[in-house]
């Protein structure tokens, strides 16, 4: 960042939301008063470094054992330099190693769109800040779904960018081979506007996206009512494309393996990234995160070899589905809608939920592809209060779908998202 200190005031708006915003760090931090994002309030997941400040990465032990940053993360610096105002760091799951949206130490942000339900993780505070209207933009990271899942649960536009396309310098990593920078907004136009700042200036004369791809085997990984809503939406949007094509995987069995492929490769990367610190400090984690970390530390070389081979096979499948920049895949973002905050799931139940989510999020993550969530519909679900039918009630919950393109077509994808969203008046 060009300026060490900008204009800072100790704003109180975020201090009243301790489940969303961290106590540490500045509020209303401004570097520039001009630029395309001037006046936009920016919430920042507490893994992006800001010069002179410390981060928790979701863990008080991390905060206590790491110094203040000597440099601002490149992505954050870019947004500040074009007028965005930093309004605070946001909470996340521990080490960003969860999609649940709950933190043993700092709590669970409530879903502003569905009171009593979780935001999803790990970028829970960032999603909650935008969904509640406290921020216009929020930075997150997406390794295994940590932007896409909260975007789906909270009814937001959200993007996971192509791997390595947006710099992760100055961002506390989880698994570098999968870590990406992402962001949330309530408007597709602003999602695109942030992309214009953060993404490399790829060719503006990219070919028109003419082919919409649907894969039933992928769609079936989501709950039935989400599938039905997607089918209805496809009938509305398909006229925007020259071709709407249903495709079939040459090896559909691999879909059932993707979650484990991702789990193994991510786990080995996490062990390499954080194993030494964990062994030295012995930090305190929630039971589910601790169980995943123990799994990550025990992954064998044979498992990694199997996963690498399967990843290569999957990437070849995706290259057949989306062979060039004129094709886009429409698919579910998450397997289900937001879970109740009060759900007391066992470790095995939490693992099953995570396995279903990874089955979808690994589709783009293993390929390193850009994927955007579009919150263009909600679904009605029955919430059983006590197991007695008369006490059941209908809850309307955010949902939507994703558009996914081949790697490094992020700007084209964002332009398409804005176009498709305009059909529904966002």
Is 122 an active-site residue? yes
pLDDT at 4: 32
Handedness of CA 140, 343, 377, 319 (dihedral sign): positive
What per-residue confidence (pLDDT) applies to 333? 98
Could you tell me the residue range of the domain that residue 21 belongs to?
A: 1-426
What is the pTM assigned to this prediction? 0.94
Residue 2's pLDDT is 34
Give the CA-trace dihedral at 369, 164, 264, 308, to 10 degrees.
80
41 neighbors 183 (Cβ within 8 angstroms): no
Residue 147 tokens, joined: 């932007």
CATH (domain of 12): 3.90.1300.10
Catalytic residue among 32, 40, 45, 399: 45
Q: Is-catalytic flag, 224?
A: no
The tens-digit pLDDT sequence of the chain (426 residues) is 333 334 444 344 555 688 999 999 999 999 999 999 999 999 999 999 999 999 999 999 999 999 999 999 999 999 999 999 999 999 999 999 999 999 999 999 999 999 999 999 999 999 999 999 999 999 999 999 999 999 999 999 999 999 999 999 999 999 999 999 999 999 999 999 999 999 998 755 678 999 999 999 999 999 999 999 999 999 889 999 999 999 999 889 999 999 999 999 999 999 999 999 999 999 999 999 999 999 999 999 999 999 999 999 999 999 999 999 999 999 999 999 999 987 777 878 888 889 999 999 999 999 999 999 999 999 999 876 545 455 668 999 999 999 999 999 999 999 999 999 998 765
Report the C-alpha gap between 275 and 344 in whole angstroms: 29
pLDDT at 12: 46
Q: Which of 32, 75, 77, 146 is catalytic?
A: 146
- How many domains does one find in the chain? 1
C-alpha 280/C-alpha 287 separation (Å) is: 19
Read off the tokens for 238. 């398909």
pLDDT value, residue 384? 62
Q: How many CA atoms lie within 13 A of 25 on its CB side?
A: 30
* Model pLDDT, residue 11: 43
Residue 42 CA to residue 48 CA, distance in Å, equals: 12
Q: Say whether 9 is catalytic.
A: no
Catalytic residue chosen out of the listed positions 59, 75, 122, 162: 122
State how beta strands 137-142 and 85-90 pair: unpaired
């Amino acid at each position: 960042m060009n300026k060490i200190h900008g204009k800072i005031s100790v704003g109180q708006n975020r201090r009243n939301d301790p489940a969303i915003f961290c106590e540490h760090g500045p509020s209303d931090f401004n570097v520039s008063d001009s630029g395309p994002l001037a006046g936009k309030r920016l919430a920042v997941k507490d893994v992006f470094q800001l010069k002179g400040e410390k981060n928790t990465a979701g863990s008080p032990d991390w905060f206590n054992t790491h110094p203040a940053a000597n440099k601002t993360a490149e992505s954050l610096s870019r947004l500040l330099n074009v007028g965005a105002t930093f309004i605070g760091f946001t909470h996340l799951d521990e080490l960003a190693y969860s999609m649940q949206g709950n933190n043993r130490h700092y709590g669970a942000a409530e879903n502003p769109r569905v009171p009593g339900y979780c935001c999803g993780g790990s970028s829970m505070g960032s999603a909650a800040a935008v969904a509640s209207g406290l921020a216009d933009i929020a930075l997150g990271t997406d390794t295994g779904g940590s932007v896409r899942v909260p975007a789906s649960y909270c009814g937001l536009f959200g993007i996971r960018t192509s791997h390595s396309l947006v710099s992760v310098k100055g961002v506390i990593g989880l698994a570098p081979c999968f870590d990406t920078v992402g962001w949330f907004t309530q408007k597709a136009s602003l999602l695109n506007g942030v992309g214009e700042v953060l993404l490399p200036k790829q060719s503006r004369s990219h070919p028109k996206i003419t082919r919409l791809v649907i894969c039933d085997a992928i769609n079936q990984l989501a709950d039935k009512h989400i599938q039905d809503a997607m089918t209805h939406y496809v009938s509305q949007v398909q006229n925007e494309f020259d071709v709407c094509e249903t495709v079939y995987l040459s090896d559909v069995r691999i879909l059932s393996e993707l979650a484990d492929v991702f789990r193994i490769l991510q786990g080995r990367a996490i062990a390499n990234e954080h194993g030494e610190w964990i062994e030295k400090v012995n930090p305190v984690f929630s039971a589910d995160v601790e169980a995943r970390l123990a799994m990550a530390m025990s992954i064998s070389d044979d498992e990694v070899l199997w996963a690498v081979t399967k990843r290569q096979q999957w990437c070849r499948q995706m290259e057949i589905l989306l062979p060039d920049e004129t094709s886009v895949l429409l698919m579910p973002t998450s397997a289900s809608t937001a879970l109740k905050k009060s759900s007391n799931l066992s470790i095995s139940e939490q693992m099953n939920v995570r396995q279903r989510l990874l089955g979808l999020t690994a589709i783009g993550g293993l390929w390193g592809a850009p994927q955007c969530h579009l919150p263009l519909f909600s679904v009605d679900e029955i919430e059983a209060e006590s197991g007695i039918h008369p006490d059941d009630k209908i809850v309307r919950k955010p949902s939507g779908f994703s558009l996914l393109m081949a790697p490094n077509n992020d700007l084209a994808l964002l332009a398409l998202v804005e176009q498709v969203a305009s059909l529904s008046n966002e």
